[in-house]
Amino acid sequence: MSYRDDSITELPKYEDVKHEMLPLKGFSNYAIHPYLGKIYNKKSNKWMLVNASGVGDRGYLLTKLKQDSGKVVSVYEHEAVYAAVWGDEPKSWRKYGVKLEIDHRDKNVKNNNIENLSLGTSSDNKKNRSYDIIKNPLTFENAEIVREEFEKWIGSKIVFYEMMAGRFNVGKRTIQNYLLGIHYKVNTNEG
Task: Report domain extents, the chain.
Answer: 5-127, 131-191
Beta-bridge mates of residue 13: none
Q: How confident is the model at residue 10 (pLDDT cuts 50, 70, 90)?
A: confident
CATH of domain 5-127: 3.90.75.20
- pLDDT digit string, tens, across residues 84-107: 999 888 888 777 777 788 888 888
Q: How many residues does the chain have?
A: 191
- pLDDT digit string, tens, across residues 157-173: 888 888 888 887 778 88
Going by C-beta distance under 8 Å and a sequence separation of 6 or more, which residues neighbour residue 160?
A: 149, 150, 153, 175
CA-based nearest residue to 164, from 185, 184, 183, 150: 150
How many DSSP H helices and E strands does the chain contain? 6, 8
Between CA 160 and CA 169 the distance in angstroms is 14
Between CA 89 and CA 156 the distance in angstroms is 39
Most confident listed range (22-31, 54-63, 120-129): 22-31
